Chains A and B, each alone.
Chain A
């Protein structure tokens, strides 16, 4: 089965850039979405189709996808960005796959 791999955790200082990776075989051939989830809350769509932001999502969130790695970049990280981040893609059998999630700590 298709697997997506994310680092379990990441720490970033306020104001700096956080880069979260998501790796999978030929992932660049698929569209990737990214979700933010804060404790006790439902996931929120941040990025879809690799690099598109839904309305209301701040511009500091951006995405890219090439080769075997998709990347979510948070520019000018703020305390309120502390959350879990999940990548998601589709495999060729119409199955949806999530990465294991990355816990981002801002300190």
Chain B
């Protein structure tokens, strides 16, 4: 079935970098916009970033702008999140999710990965 699988999480010291990946399978990856969404322990969902279906546009939450970079490789059906200058408040489960956006209208984040955990601690 349609699947997203995140990887790359771990424990990292403040100020260091980490790169997350999301592997897509069994759907036409290049047709969908993709999000990263995170959830700190015991907290609600927080949107992180979005990239358009072709990678030409990216938008970021203010909390990560200038530190995180979202990218995609449609030839490999892979989404990435490069996280630099990590802070303790970036500690969370990070999910990737697909979004069918047609003519600037979202049809919802209908497929989510299982999440990968990032812990920023000294």
Contacts and interface: CB of A to CB of B under 8 A. Distances in A.
B63 to A, nearest CB: 10
B44 A99 contact: yes
Contact of A45 (B61, B110, B115): B110
14 contacts: A31-B106, A37-B45, A42-B113, A43-B109, A49-B105, A49-B108, A52-B108, A86-B45, A88-B109, A95-B47, A96-B50, A98-B46, A100-B44, A101-B44
A41 to B, nearest CB: 9
A85 to B, nearest CB: 10
B35 interface: yes
Interface residues of A, number: 27
A54 B110 contact: yes
A33 B105 CA distance: 12
A97 to B, nearest CB: 7
Contacts, number: 62
Given A96-B50, A98-B47, A45 B62 contact: no
Interface of B: 35, 37, 44-47, 50, 59, 61-62, 95, 97, 105-110, 112-115
Contact of B35 (A37, A93, A96): A96
Which 7 pairs between the two chains have the least Cβ-Cβ distance? A48-B108, A101-B44, A96-B47, A42-B112, A98-B45, A100-B44, A45-B110
Nearest to A96: B47
The binding surface of chain A is classed by DSSP as strand
Interface string A81-99: 0001010101001111111
B108 A54 contact: yes
Nearest to A34: B108
A48 B47 contact: no
Contacts of B50: 94, 96
A94 B59 contact: yes
Contacts of B106: 31, 33, 48-49, 90
A1 B62 contact: yes
Interface string A63-106: 00000000000000000000010101010011111111100000
